[in-house]
Amino acid sequence: MLIGGGSAMLLAHDVPLTTADIDGLPLSTDLSPAELDNIVKDVGQELKIGGQWYNSYFSTFTYSLPKDFRDRLITVYKGKMLHALALGAEDILIMKCFAGREKDIGHAKALIKRGADTDLVEHQLDNLQGKGLPGAENALDFLHDLLDQLEV
């Protein structure tokens, strides 16, 4: 399972925050989305946390990730039936720049302060802007604003 968002920040990057769900998507599995949905609901019932604990919607935004994002994945759990990998700081930062929400400002600053490679992030955002990807210019502006605020 690939984990992103606040859950990845908490589990892999020691950023103290609260989150209501895990932004995840299956990696290297033969499970269909319907089968995964049933498993998610079963786990939610068993743990008494409801069926909304798993959010696969973040997969909609993985288009912004560099092709080599897998090189930066961090194992956060490895069991008999599940291997959970979190996005690297740079890849979360790219997605935070695209989201550009108010809550993303603090999250993005925390990643930068913890040493995320902002050159890699800027290169990816420049690349996407050059390809005309919608939102890339705003994402790049978001990053530049953060770097100016942090005087990096």
Task: Give tens-digit pLDDT for 22-48.
Answer: 899 888 888 877 888 888 888 888 888
Give CA–CA dist 54/3, Å, rounded. Answer: 10
pTM of the model as a whole: 0.91
Q: Is 90 exceeded by the pLDDT of residue 69? A: yes
Name beta bridge partners: 24: 3
Q: Is 80 exceeded by the pLDDT of residue 51? A: no
Lowest pLDDT segment from 7-16, 33-42, 59-68, 76-85: 33-42
CA separation, residue 131 to residues 8, 14, 22, 125, 136 (Å): 28, 34, 31, 10, 9
Question: Angle CA(42)–CA(17)–CA(103) in degrees, nearest 5?
Answer: 105
In 3D space, the residue among 103, 101, 98 whose CA is nearest the CA of residue 121 turns out to be: 98
pLDDT-based confidence at residue 122 (cuts at 50, 70, 90): very high
pLDDT-based confidence at residue 57 (cuts at 50, 70, 90): confident
- CB-based contacts of 131: which residues, under 8 Å, 6+ apart? none
Return the pLDDT at 26. 86
Name beta bridge partners: 4: 23
Over range 61-81, report the average pLDDT. 94
Return the pLDDT at 40. 82
Q: Is 48 helix (H, G, I), strand (E, B) or coil?
A: coil
Over range 101-111, report the average pLDDT. 96
Give CA–CA dist 59/76, Å, rounded. Answer: 19
Q: Are 91 and 72 in contact (CB under 8 A)?
A: yes
